[in-house]
Amino acid sequence: MRHNFIHSLLKVEPSMIKQPFFVSRESLKVKACGLLQRCAAVATVTFVLLLCAPFVNSTRQDSDVLHVAVEQPPKPQARIGVELRRGDTLASVLKRFGIEPPSAHAMIEKVRPFVNPRKIRPGDNFHVVLNSEDRTVEAMEFVVDDNLVRVKATNGGWAAERHEIPFVQETRVVRGTIRGSLYESGIQAGLTPQHILDLARVFEYDIDFFSDFQPDNLFSVIIEEIRYEDGRSGRGRILAAELEAGRDVFNAYYFTGGDSGDYYNSKGEALRRSFLRAPLSYARISSPFSRSRRHPIFRTLRPHLAIDYAAPAGTPVVAIGRGRVEFVGWRNGYGNVVDIRHAGPYLSRYAHFSRFAPKLRKGRTVNAGDVIGYVGQTGHATGPHLHFEFLRGGRKINFLDLRIPKNHQLTGQDLVRFHRLRDQRQAMLRHGDERLVDNTRDRL
């Protein structure tokens, strides 16, 4: 059809051929102009048809085209951090984001296997994931024990999933010299307050953190730090430490044997003992054990067969060891007092409490480190302090002179593995680079 159309444009009329050879000039000009116009029209039509050729044949090629499904890009999302305020619940927060109670409760039920909603408190954080276009809730995210718990919307309702958040473990060596207190010097060296509290727990069976340190004592600590892929950082455990306390040097190495880990000294002896070194931390001994002391109230010389720890009123006091509460209540000059019976012939006594720990009752079993009361000045006391007595077979003795044996000693292959780990940690404590270095948890 296209060729017939072009041929019609080029067709010469018979009348044109039969004209005499000799024609006038005007007639020739008219016929030449007409021929040029027809040629121009042919050229224009040809050009247009060439341009349209692919589209003219497209209907014929449609059956040969393979249709491929193109994956749609994910919908844009926005993550909004939420901090629970006083009076907030998960349901009330979700309602603020447009989730009605039935759907909100269904969402919370999916969270329950991973997070107990009743234990969520003001100050806790989570994320709500919104669709950036219509602002509808698409998911809710919690961080639980280094895992991301995500409850997301699906065609079948809410679904929960848990993924471990990728992280890198690093170690850092912190060294310093004690100028005032370990707390002040540790903060200046780069430790955090929590690191120092952890140190106190590691060495609580050997060192009194208030009275045992002297100026110019040295300390060195290997701490573990965790960097998460989502930008968070976490505090790991203390991997090793070496502290000078007076003229003595104490060290601790965290070692995992079997399924549990604990701290051991350089000989492989567990630092954990039957009794703590003191019933409270960061307290000053205001009156030591003495056979003759002038009583601050009665002004007479009499034995002081106890240790007085001066501390601010309200300071928590802990049991020095596992035992059973034998007495809790008021007793003459002791004021509010607690007696704890320990294994063997030992009994510890804590007096002048301002108040007792909640639910502390006679006959209850307590462990070392459990809070049993708070410093006060009830009974015969001139100021807030803890009056502490330690009895062996009913006889009062100086607790600071008591030599308490270790509870556990590594043996066999555990001891061999421990020695290898100890040598590595010891080299880091004394000569290691203080910079952050990549590290995986050592289970030698």
Instruction: Show the beta-strand stretches assigned E in 89-144.
Output: 125-131, 137-144
Which pLDDT value is given to residue 180?
81
The pLDDT tens digits for 195-251 are: 988 998 898 888 877 778 889 999 999 998 888 776 667 778 899 999 999 899 999
Which pLDDT value is given to residue 95?
85
**Does residue 329 surpass a pLDDT of 70?**
yes
Which pLDDT value is given to residue 118?
75
The pLDDT tens digits for 19-55 are: 444 445 555 555 666 666 666 666 665 665 555 555 5
Q: Which 3 state secondary structure label does DSSP give 227?
A: strand
Which pLDDT value is given to residue 62?
44
- In this prediction, residues 417-427 reach a mean pLDDT of 94
- Residue 119 makes CB contacts below 8 A (sequence gap 6+) with none
Which pLDDT value is given to residue 408?
77
d(CA 273, CA 321): 9
Structure tokens at 45: 């039509």
| N-to-C CA span, the chain | 88
- In this prediction, residues 189-200 reach a mean pLDDT of 89
**Does residue 123 surpass a pLDDT of 60?**
yes
Please indicate whether residue 284 or residue 119 has the higher confidence score (pLDDT): 119
Which pLDDT value is given to residue 66?
43
Mode of pairing for the β-strands spanning 323-331 and 335-342? antiparallel
- In this prediction, residues 53-64 reach a mean pLDDT of 47
- In this prediction, residues 328-353 reach a mean pLDDT of 94
d(CA 199, CA 91): 41
- In this prediction, residues 407-432 reach a mean pLDDT of 89
Work out the angle at residue 177's Cα, subtended by the Cα atoms of residues 176 and 178, and round it to the nearest 5 degrees. 125
Which pLDDT value is given to residue 28?
54
Which pLDDT value is given to residue 444?
38
d(CA 320, CA 318): 6
**Does residue 381 surpass a pLDDT of 80?**
yes
Please indicate whether residue 404 or residue 250 has the higher confidence score (pLDDT): 250
- Residue 441 makes CB contacts below 8 A (sequence gap 6+) with 169, 224
Q: What is the dihedral of CA 322, 325, 330, 331, to 10 degrees?
A: -80
**Does residue 60 surpass a pLDDT of 50?**
no
**Does residue 437 surpass a pLDDT of 50?**
no
State phi, psi for 54 to the nearest 5 degrees: -60, -35
d(CA 380, CA 138): 64
Residue type, 422: R
- Lowest-confidence segment of 26-30, 94-98, 153-157, 421-425 by average pLDDT: 26-30
> What rounded mean pLDDT belongs to the chain?
78
By the 8 A CB rule, do 159 and 110 touch?
yes
Q: How many CB atoms lie within 10 A of CB 369?
A: 14
pLDDT confidence bin for 347, thresholds 50/70/90: very high
d(CA 238, CA 209): 17
Which pLDDT value is given to residue 9?
44
Q: By C-alpha distance, which of 275, 268, 281 is closest to 201?
A: 281
- In this prediction, residues 415-435 reach a mean pLDDT of 86
Q: Which 3 state secondary structure label does DSSP give 219?
A: strand
Q: Which 3 state secondary structure label does DSSP give 11?
A: coil
pLDDT confidence bin for 358, thresholds 50/70/90: very high
d(CA 11, CA 287): 131
- Residue 131 makes CB contacts below 8 A (sequence gap 6+) with 75, 76, 77, 78, 138
Q: Which helix (H) or strand (E) holds 421?
A: helix 412-431
Which pLDDT value is given to residue 319?
95
**Does residue 77 surpass a pLDDT of 70?**
no
By the 8 A CB rule, do 223 and 238 touch?
yes
Which pLDDT value is given to residue 114?
82
- Lowest-confidence segment of 56-60, 266-270, 410-414 by average pLDDT: 56-60
Please indicate whether residue 444 or residue 154 has the higher confidence score (pLDDT): 154
Beta bridge partners of 375: 353
Please indicate whether residue 312 or residue 235 has the higher confidence score (pLDDT): 312
Structure tokens at 307: 């240790």
- In this prediction, residues 280-303 reach a mean pLDDT of 60
pLDDT confidence bin for 69, thresholds 50/70/90: very low
Please indicate whether residue 118 or residue 214 has the higher confidence score (pLDDT): 214
- In this prediction, residues 331-343 reach a mean pLDDT of 94
By the 8 A CB rule, do 254 and 261 touch?
yes
**Does residue 372 surpass a pLDDT of 90?**
yes
Residue type, 242: E
**Does residue 107 surpass a pLDDT of 80?**
yes
Which pLDDT value is given to residue 67?
46
Work out the angle at residue 123's Cα, subtended by the Cα atoms of residues 195 and 150, and round it to the nearest 5 degrees. 95
DSSP secondary structure string for all residues of 284-337 = EEEE--EEEEE-TTT--EEEE-SEEEE--TT-EEE-SSSEEEEEEEEEGGGEEE
Which pLDDT value is given to residue 10?
47
pLDDT confidence bin for 61, thresholds 50/70/90: very low
- Residue 233 makes CB contacts below 8 A (sequence gap 6+) with 225, 226, 227
d(CA 145, CA 195): 20
